[in-house]
Amino acid sequence: MSKIIALALAWVCGLAAAQELPGDAGTPDAVAAHEGRLVIYAATDERLVAPLIRDFQTLYPDLQVDYLDMNSAELYRRFLAETATGGNADVTWSSAMDLQVKLVNDGHAQPHRSAETAALPAWASWKDEAFGTTYEPIAIAYNKRLLRKDEVPATHAELIRLLKEQPERFRGRLTTYDPVRSGLGFMLHTQDQQANPVVFWNLVGAMGTAGLHGRASTSAMLDRIAAGDALLGYNVLGSYALERARNDPALGVVLPQDYTLVMSRVMFIARQARHPHAARLWVDYVLSQRGQAVLANRAGLFSIRDDVAGETTAARLKGQLGGALRPIPIGTGLLTYLDQMKRRDFLRKWDAAVQPR
């Protein structure tokens, strides 16, 4: 008996000692390194997140990161199609919050709990499976050479008044997301409607009267504005617009003072992830203070953490706008307009409002 006890004690002591070794094969880092690879499907420009990937790989050099950049609708369709054959993506990361929530709601994610996920605000984490990673304001962009500083609207009401007072000036020179061609645009418009339905439909009507050009991306809208083909763009991604405005003197950006929607790029670990330990390391890195500092200060995507300093952070936005910020909660509320009948009704009302009159 004493020999058995001695052997047991030796095994326990050996295990404890082994767990203290940084290179132990049982640690999360080592297990992920053994997996050797991480596959990320993302609807975020690879050029922007390249510093994030490089920094992650300095921490985990044994992990090869395959980052596949695609639009949000393509990501959703490809992920679903590959699920039938065992899946390929370990992590999906997309600005189409509603489509991400639908995938999670339909059972395509696996739970992950850590100190980093626990630090998220309540609205940015759902079921311990879907995690918000950014705090990006939705903005108004305008051409600074064609719109005087004293004319720039600071609120939705001021924008409506400007369009109604000078419809000819803005005739055909307004742009926003086309809700049919852009999944992100559809989500932003429907969330805008829920935030303030009266103001939203008054504004859409005013833009429709003046003449509105729908585009599939913020980049396409900014191109029109910078070229002078459009005077103003509504519901553009503030992170992209502010980054471009820093290098383009023709572009100005406004965050409405009455209310500013805030979206967050949603990330989850695929239930069929082939490299689940690597996926967990990535999620925790992106949500960590270090990862968020890179995300904000080198990618310009606005950190969601309050303990990250810089221009493009939640802390800075809260200092500027306070209670005017309206983060879009991650949860089943985002599924409302994925219902085909509700989607059809919204688009029918949108078309009626924006048709040239």
Structurally, the chain folds into a number of domains equal to 2
**Looking at the structure, do residues 100 and 180 belong to the same domain, yes or no?**
no
Residue 174: predicted pLDDT: 96
**Looking at the structure, do residues 70 and 147 belong to the same domain, yes or no?**
no
**Looking at the structure, do residues 30 and 80 belong to the same domain, yes or no?**
yes
Residue 218 belongs to a domain: yes
Residue 330 belongs to a domain: no
Q: How far apart are CA 191 and CA 261, in angstroms?
A: 8
**Looking at the structure, do residues 273 and 252 belong to the same domain, yes or no?**
no
**Looking at the structure, do residues 178 and 197 belong to the same domain, yes or no?**
yes
**Looking at the structure, do residues 148 and 47 belong to the same domain, yes or no?**
no
**Looking at the structure, do residues 97 and 244 belong to the same domain, yes or no?**
no
Q: Are 185 and 219 in contact (CB under 8 A)?
A: no
- Rounded to 5°, the CA angle 271-275-280 comes to 75
**Exposed, middle or buried, 116 (CB in 10 Å: 0-12/13-18/19+)?**
buried
Residue 28: predicted pLDDT: 65
User: Could you list the residue range(s) of the whole structural domain that residue 44 is in?
Assistant: 25-134+264-312
Q: Measured between alpha carbons, how far is residue 228 from residues 148, 206, 214 in Å?
A: 14, 20, 16
Q: How far apart are CA 133 and CA 135, in angstroms?
A: 7
Residue 203: predicted pLDDT: 96
Residue 256 belongs to a domain: yes
**Looking at the structure, do residues 210 and 347 belong to the same domain, yes or no?**
yes
Q: What is the residue-level pLDDT of the chain in tens, covering all 357 positions?
A: 444 444 343 333 333 333 333 334 456 687 877 889 999 999 988 988 999 999 999 999 999 999 999 988 899 999 999 998 999 999 999 999 999 999 999 999 999 999 999 999 999 999 999 999 999 999 999 999 999 999 999 999 999 999 999 999 999 999 999 999 888 899 999 999 999 999 999 999 999 998 899 998 999 999 999 999 999 999 999 999 999 999 999 999 999 999 999 999 999 999 999 999 999 999 999 999 999 999 999 998 999 999 999 989 999 999 999 999 999 999 999 999 999 999 999 999 999 999 865
Q: Which helix (H) or strand (E) holds 39?
A: strand 37-42
Residue 128: predicted pLDDT: 97
Residue 12 belongs to a domain: no
pTM, rounded to two decimals: 0.88
Residue 173 belongs to a domain: yes
**Looking at the structure, do residues 248 and 276 belong to the same domain, yes or no?**
no
**Looking at the structure, do residues 233 and 290 belong to the same domain, yes or no?**
no
Residue 3: predicted pLDDT: 41
Residue 356: predicted pLDDT: 62
Residue 325 belongs to a domain: no
Residue 1: predicted pLDDT: 44
**Looking at the structure, do residues 92 and 167 belong to the same domain, yes or no?**
no
Task: Count other C-beta atoms under 10 Å from residue 166's C-beta.
Answer: 13
Residue 324 belongs to a domain: no
What DSSP character marks residue 94?
A: E
Place of tokens 């490809």: 78
Residue 183: predicted pLDDT: 85
Residue 129 belongs to a domain: yes
Residue 229: predicted pLDDT: 96
**Looking at the structure, do residues 159 and 228 belong to the same domain, yes or no?**
yes
CATH number of the domain that residue 204 is part of:
3.40.190.10
